[in-house]
């Protein structure tokens, strides 16, 4: 039992990765559509590449979305408006009219004329209420068909312009009076009807919409059908018009069929295999090319989490409206991975994610082409992410690539630009703005996963930070040495295309352990007194070696990232404190060499190897007397060759060619530092 537990403990990292792999696979499969996928790939305007296709079953030909939209538009535009009529109002007005008429017209008008005017007024009422007077003003087309309901019973059928609007009352009065040659009484009648007329037509919106919806529901979404084994399309035939719509109908019918339990399980199993295969390729890539990332469970979790997050966001957008698919900023993925890891890992993970999304997005070939091209552009254009201008320029380039590629695909599919959907370009611009969210996202990831990006490294490189201020106060000589090493390391890293910012920050903090006993290090001895004179060689060596351990403790206390602590841990590797070892050998020829060696580990990256070279060369350069170009060259060669002979760079992925380039930089820099000056006159 104990052996089993010990075996589990020894392999707990692999067990965790296995569980993470299984959980991520099932989560992604859960988001995938649970139906079959049409096995044929086709595009409008292109030849049919497969063999002759016959209908595998009976299916209806679906109308195109544009055709259905046009039918809906036509029905909506020709829809009948329904108004409710209040008959009581008309009866009340007709009854009230004679009384008001005699009140408004003076007694000076003789009776015969009054009777004529009274009848004219009744005629005006009839004209006004022929169909009814509206309660308000509505924005309907004058030719719209109108039905007037009296208690849900159709009373009149007319057009909207025949109804009496409030602003039509005066023109109707004028027209009736003009026909009777009674224009002289216009103001009297207008005044009379202003107080008398009441609206009696109310727009019945709910009933109108109900009837409209009934008409819309009658729309047939299909036109005709295809019988089983009917030839649909022949090989090489151009896919356009009805052929394209029939193929789309077959695809839709195939993917929307109600699958039985057996089919469902097989589809689920097949999707699981595909997703598992893609994620397995990612794990194998990490194990072969990024072993340091593979062995770090936090980093592997981070990578899998981001891939799942992109699949989740894309699925949510597709479920809402697949037209907005290009709003999802997939290019955030390579940006984030490049910020925390490297470009190669960023691109590989991006491609794996796009391949996974190809199973759920419409127009999968077009989508995958656009996203992979955009990912490549992201990797190639984004450098030094901590510089804000670089991110904006890169996002602009990514957006431009999206637009160009989409334009090319549209022209290939449609054969013209007349029907191009300009709003899609707006989606690409929105995607660009969403990609800018990568900066706060990187900050959040740093806090959640304990990772370090170049943005954080830029902050750590500030020499006014609390820890570097303390170093400059307690150990000014060490601080000056660290600045010189930082400049050398940055130049060397730039020369071999390593992470210059990381190398600089590592160099700034590599000797912070000397703050504990600053006077025991020669660069901080300003009084001429050397405390090592009072100690044995072993004690002195232990103090010198302990500055690495002390540095790690101080770094942990101040929450420096592990990437920076690695420089403190490795900058001397397993090298020998040569001076005190030789001093001890003078006293004891059998002195144990291991007592005078640093504990390691040896440098395990290009950046940490660069620091070891720069640190040794800069420190030893102080001992040069009358430095010349020849002396400096021999001096640099001697120190770095000794480190190579000791095997200090065996664990670092650095080549001899790169070491030669670093030597060249160090020789050039030291030659500039120790250049001869002319003697100034006193």
DSSP sequence for 585-610: HHH-TT--GGGGB---PPP-SHHHHH
CA 92 to chain centre: 68
Positions of the chain with pLDDT under 50? 258-259, 676-680
Alpha carbon separation from 345 to 293, 338, 349, 363, 375 (Å, rounded): 10, 7, 6, 27, 12
Strands 145-149 and 81-85: parallel
> Largest Cα–Cα distance in the chain?
151
pLDDT for the residue 492: 94
SS3 annotation, 167-214: HHHHHHHHHHHHHCCCHHHHHHHHHHHHHHCCCCEEECHHHHHHHHHH
State the DSSP code for 519: G
* Coil, strand or helix at 59: strand
The answer for residues whose C-beta is within 8 angstroms of residue 96's C-beta and 6 or more apart is: 196
Output the pTM of the full model: 0.61
Structure confidence by residue, pLDDT tens digits, 44-80: 776 776 777 778 777 788 887 788 888 899 998 889 9
pLDDT for the residue 156: 83
pLDDT for the residue 4: 58
**DSSP states of 536-590 as a string?**
-HHHHHHHHHHHHHHHHHHHHHTT--HHHHHHHHHTTTT-B-HHHHHHHHHH-TT
pLDDT for the residue 644: 92
In DSSP terms, 147 is beta-bridged to 82, 157
pLDDT for the residue 677: 47
Ramachandran area for residue 146 (φ above 0: left; ψ -120 to 50: alpha; else beta):
beta
d(CA 309, CA 13): 23
d(CA 611, CA 507): 6
Q: In the CATH scheme, what is the code of domain 454-673?
A: 1.10.3210
Pair 480, 511: CB distance under 8 Å: no
Angle at 278 between CA 272 and CA 283, to 5 degrees: 115
Cis peptide, bond prior to residue 601, ω within 30 of zero: yes
pLDDT for the residue 494: 92
Pair 611, 485: CB distance under 8 Å: yes
CA dihedral of residues 98, 103, 107, 110 (deg, nearest 10):
-20
Break the chain into its structural domains and give their ranges: 2-34+261-449, 75-215, 454-673
CA 490 to chain centre: 32
d(CA 622, CA 522): 11
CA 349 to chain centre: 14
pLDDT for the residue 600: 78
Pair 328, 310: CB distance under 8 Å: yes
pLDDT for the residue 462: 86
**Residue 258, class by beta-carbon neighbours within 10 Å (0-12 exposed, 13-18 middle, 19+ buried)?**
exposed
d(CA 27, CA 309): 10
The answer for residues whose C-beta is within 8 angstroms of residue 544's C-beta and 6 or more apart is: 520, 521, 577, 580
Structure confidence by residue, pLDDT tens digits, 469-522: 999 999 999 999 999 999 999 999 999 988 888 999 999 999 999 998 888 888
């Amino acid at each position: 039992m104990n052996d089993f537990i010990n075996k589990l403990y020894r392999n707990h990292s692999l067990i965790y990765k296995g569980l993470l792999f299984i959980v991520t696979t099932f989560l992604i499969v859960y988001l995938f559509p649970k139906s079959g996928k049409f096995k044929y790939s086709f595009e409008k305007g292109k030849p049919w590449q497969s063999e002759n296709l016959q209908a595998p079953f009976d299916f209806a030909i679906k109308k195109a979305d544009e055709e259905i939209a046009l039918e809906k538009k036509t029905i909506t535009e020709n829809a009948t408006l329904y108004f409710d009529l209040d008959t009581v109002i008309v009866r009340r007005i007709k009854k009230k009219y004679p009384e008001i008429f005699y009140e408004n017209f003076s007694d000076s008008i003789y009776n015969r004329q009054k009777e004529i005017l009274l009848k004219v007024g009744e005629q005006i009422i009839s004209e006004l209420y022929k169909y009814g007077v509206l309660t308000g003003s509505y924005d309907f087309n004058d030719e719209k068909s109108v039905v007037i309901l009296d208690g849900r019973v159709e009373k009149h059928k007319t057009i909207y312009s025949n109804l009496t609007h409030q602003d039509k009352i005066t023109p109707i009065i004028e027209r009736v009076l003009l026909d009777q040659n009674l224009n002289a009484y216009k103001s009297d009648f207008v005044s009379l009807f202003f107080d008398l007329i009441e609206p009696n037509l109310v727009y019945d919106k709910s009933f109108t919409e109900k009837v409209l919806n009934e008409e819309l529901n009658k729309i047939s979404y299909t036109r005709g059908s295809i019988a089983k084994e009917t030839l649909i399309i022949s090989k090489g035939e151009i896919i356009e018009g009805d052929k394209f719509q029939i193929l789309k109908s077959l695809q839709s019918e195939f993917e929307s069929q109600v699958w039985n339990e057996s089919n469902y399980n097989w589809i689920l199993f097949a999707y699981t295999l595909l997703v598992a295969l893609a994620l397995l390729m990612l794990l194998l890539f990490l194990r072969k090319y990024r072993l340091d990332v593979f062995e770090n469970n936090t980093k592997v979790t981070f990578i899998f989490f981001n891939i799942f997050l992109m699949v989740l966001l894309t699925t949510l957008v597709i479920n809402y409206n697949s037209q907005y698919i290009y709003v999802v900023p997939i290019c955030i993925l390579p940006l984030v991975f490049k910020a925390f890891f490297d470009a190669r890992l960023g691109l590989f993970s991006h491609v794996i994610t796009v391949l996974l999304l190809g199973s759920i997005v419409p127009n999968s070939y077009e989508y995958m082409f656009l996203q992979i091209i955009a990912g490549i552009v992201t990797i190639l254009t984004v450098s030094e992410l901590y510089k804000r201008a670089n991110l904006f320029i890169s996002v602009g380039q990514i957006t431009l690539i999206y637009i160009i590629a989409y334009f090319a695909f549209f022209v290939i599919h449609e054969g013209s630009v007349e029907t191009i959907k300009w709003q899609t370009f707006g989606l690409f611009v929105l995607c660009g703005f969403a990609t800018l969210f990568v900066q706060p996202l990187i900050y959040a990831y740093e806090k959640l996963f304990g990772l370090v990006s170049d943005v954080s490294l830029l902050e750590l490189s500030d020499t006014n930070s609390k820890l570097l201020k303390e170093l400059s106060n307690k150990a000014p000589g060490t601080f000056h040495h660290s600045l010189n090493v930082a400049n050398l390391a940055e130049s060397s890293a730039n020369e071999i295309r390593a992470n210059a910012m990381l190398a600089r920050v590592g160099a700034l903090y590599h000797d912070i352990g000397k703050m504990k006993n600053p006077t025991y290090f020669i660069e901080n001895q300003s009084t001429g007194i050397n405390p090592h004179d009072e100690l044995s060689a072993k004690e002195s060596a232990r103090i010198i070696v302990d500055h690495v351990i002390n540095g790690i403790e101080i770094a942990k206390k101040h929450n420096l990232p592990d990437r920076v602590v690695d420089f403190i841990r490795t900058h001397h590797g397993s090298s020998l404190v040569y001076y005190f070892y030789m001093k001890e050998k003078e006293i004891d020829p059998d002195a144990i060499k291991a007592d005078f060696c640093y504990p390691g580990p040896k440098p395990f990256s290009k950046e940490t190897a660069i620091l070891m070279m720069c640190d040794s060369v800069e420190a030893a350069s102080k001992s040069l007397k009358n430095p010349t170009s020849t002396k400096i060259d021999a001096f640099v060669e001697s120190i770095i060759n000794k480190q190579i002979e000791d095997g200090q760079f065996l664990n670092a992925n650095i080549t001899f060619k790169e070491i030669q380039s670093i030597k060249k930089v160090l020789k050039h820099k030291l030659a500039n530092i120790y250049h001869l000056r002319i003697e100034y006159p006193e």
